[in-house]
Amino acid sequence: MKLSKITCEEFAAKLASKEPVPGGGGVAALVGALGAALGSMVGNYSIGKKKFLGMEAKHQEIIDKSCDLMTKLLALIDEDAENFEPLSKAYGMPKDTPEQAAEKEKVLQNCLKVAAGGPIKMVEYIYEAIKLQEELVDISTKIIISDVGCGVQFLKAALYSASLNVTVNLNSINDEAYVKEVKERMDKLVSEGSDVCDKVYAKVTEVLG
C-alpha cells in the first residue's frame, strides 16, 4: 500500500513508530501538498467574485497549477520512501575486504544521489507553489485570505524540511561538482521562497488587521 493512499491516522502512526518510512522527506512532501491544496481552495472560493471579475483566467490558472503541484508532491511521498530502501540496504553491505569496501562505497554514492532526488524535486515544486500564493494573495477574497497565510506557512515549513533532506544526503556524496551545483540551486530556491512566504504572510496579516 502506497503511503500516499493510507489514512491520516495510519500515516501518523507509521511516522510515530520505528518504521524507516515515512520520515522527514515524506512529511515535507505531504505538508507541501497541503499548502498547494490550500492555494487551489482559495482560488476556487475567489473565482467569479464581483470584486475580481475579469480575473477568472488567472484564478483558474492558479487552481490548475496548484492542483498539479499537489499531485506531484503527493507522489513524492511514495517516491521518497522507495528511494530510501536501496540506500538502507547499501549501508548494510559488508566491507570486510578492500574489494567489498570499494563496492559498498560505489553503491552508496549512487544510492545517495537517488535518495537526494526526491527532496530536490520537493524543493522545486514547493517553490513553484509559493510563487502561486504570491499571485493569489492580491486576488483572494478577504473572508478566506487567512488560508493564503496558512498555505505559505505550510509551504515555508515544507521548503526548509525538504532542503534538510537534500543536505543530509549531499553531506555524504563525494562528487564535488554535483554537490556544489545542487547546493547552490537549493540555497537560492530556499532563500527566495522563504522571502516570498514572509512577504505574503505580512500582506495577509495586514489585511486581517
**For 102-142, how does the pLDDT look when each residue is reduced to its tens digit (9 = 90+)?**
999 999 999 999 999 999 999 999 999 999 999 999 999 99
**How many CA atoms within 13 Å lie on the side-chain side of 57?**
1
pLDDT cut 70: percent of the chain above it? 100
pTM of the model: 0.96
| Grid-cell match 563496492, residue found | 103
In whole angstroms, give the CA distance from residue 155 to residue 126. Answer: 6
Domains identified in the chain and CATH numbers:
22-208 (1.20.120.680)
Lowest-pLDDT range of 83-97, 171-185, 192-206: 83-97
CA-nearest of 205, 52, 62 to 141 is 52
Does the pLDDT of residue 1 top 90, yes or no? Answer: no
Mean pLDDT of the chain: 96
Q: What is the pLDDT of residue 163?
A: 98
**For 134-182, how does the pLDDT look when each residue is reduced to its tens digit (9 = 90+)?**
999 999 999 999 999 999 999 999 999 999 999 999 999 999 999 999 9
